[in-house]
Amino acid sequence: MPSYLRLRDPRAHAVASLNREVMKWLDEVVFDHLQEDELRENDVDSALLSAIQNSDIVYSEGVFSGKFSSNTSKALREIGAYIHHGKWRVDPAKVPHELIGAFTLSRDKAEGKVTNIIRTLRDISSNMVHAPLGIDLRKHGADILAVLDMQFNKHLEEVPLSLPNKDMVLDQFAKEMHEEIVTAAVDQVDKLAEKLGTLSETGRMDSLFAYIRGAYITSRNAVSVKMEDKINRFAMDCVEEKARLSGSNSYVWVTCHDDKVRHSHRVLDGKTFQWDDPPEVAPGRHCHPGQDYNCRCWAVPVLPFDPKANP
Ligand SMILES: [Zn+2]
């Protein structure tokens, strides 16, 4: 009489808790060095001049674009600018001389700031490998394992079960997770620097800080995805090893049953597979649930006996 080990999936909780720490670390190591104050530094009196100097507003051929406040709008009206088809426009001949100077200056200044930021990012990226993460990764792995241990032991009361190589498994997890996070972070910081390097060519020097924040958040998410993937694999590796130890030869593939499940995994839902023979998820590629890229699928281990029926 086979029995099914329906385990509570510890991954979402583990991902959320580690993600908080990784994002905090990333903000401290990277984002806090891209100071808003410096980007918004202000050294002129006039609202319009200061907006231009801060690169909040850019001017090109009779059109102003960027971020407008009530002060800058008032100042624009004073120089004869008007809104037409949702854009601030002005007769180029009417633009005061000191503003024309500021437009050029503002662009040079913005470019100078971007160059500084790129330099900062390069420094961060090369120091990152040696700097401590300050996150107890081993503990995060141990928490996942504890949830699994508790559930396996509940189902298999007669055979309390813990991985014999638990210490090694956790050391390995911490080491690989550290590598995963740091490699992804270095990669993303380099990408961010590259992206900023093309900023002056693509001409987006207005709203500099908003642009950098947007690009940084994209990078942050990419690091998060790598971390999540690693947790998913680790948890499923532990389930596999513990299931095998408890006498299981097979499992039932279970998806999250939502819209995001890819077709190649949806067709595996509810089917039984051998631990020794993972199904093909893409041409030539075989794996168990949670071991494919970004896979949130889960396994229900099958025991070929009823553990509670043993004398
Ligand atoms: Zn999946």
Please, what is the angle between helix 137-155 and helix 208-245, to 10°? 40
Dist. CA 77 → ligand 1 center (Å): 57
Q: How many CB atoms sit inside 10 A of residue 220's CB?
A: 20
User: Which one is predicted more confidently, 66 or 278?
Assistant: 278
Strand partners, 300: 252
Answer yes or no: are the C-beta atoms of 106 and 55 closer than 8 Å.
yes
H or E segment at 25? helix 11-29
CA of 167 to the centre of ligand 1 (A): 28
Q: CB under 8 Å to 163, separation ≥6 — which residues?
A: 145, 169, 238, 241, 242, 245
Which single residue is written with the structure tokens 């385990």?
A: 7
Q: Is the pLDDT of residue 75 over 60?
A: yes
Instruction: Report the separation in Å between the CA atom of 295 and the middle of ligand 1, taken as the mean of its atom positions.
Output: 4
Once rounded to an integer, what is the mean pLDDT over residues 22-35? Answer: 89
Going from the Cα of 269 to the center of ligand 1, the distance in angstroms, rounded, reads 9
Whether 71 and 95 have beta carbons less than 8 Å apart is answered as no
In this prediction, residues 23-46 reach a mean pLDDT of 70
Of residues 306 and 177, more confidently modeled: 177
pLDDT at 271: 97
* Cα-to-centroid distance, 233 and ligand 1 (Å): 11
**CA 197/CA 234 separation, integer angstroms:** 37
Q: How far is the CA of 97 from the centre of ligand 1 (A)?
A: 62
CA of 262 to the centre of ligand 1 (A): 7
Tell me what pLDDT residue 177 has. 96
pTM exceeds 0.85, yes or no: no
* CA distance linking residue 7 with residue 298, whole number of Å: 9
Q: For the chain, what percent of residues have pLDDT higher than 90?
A: 49
pLDDT at 309: 62
290: CA distance to ligand 1 center in Å? 6
CB 113 within 8 A of CB 211: no
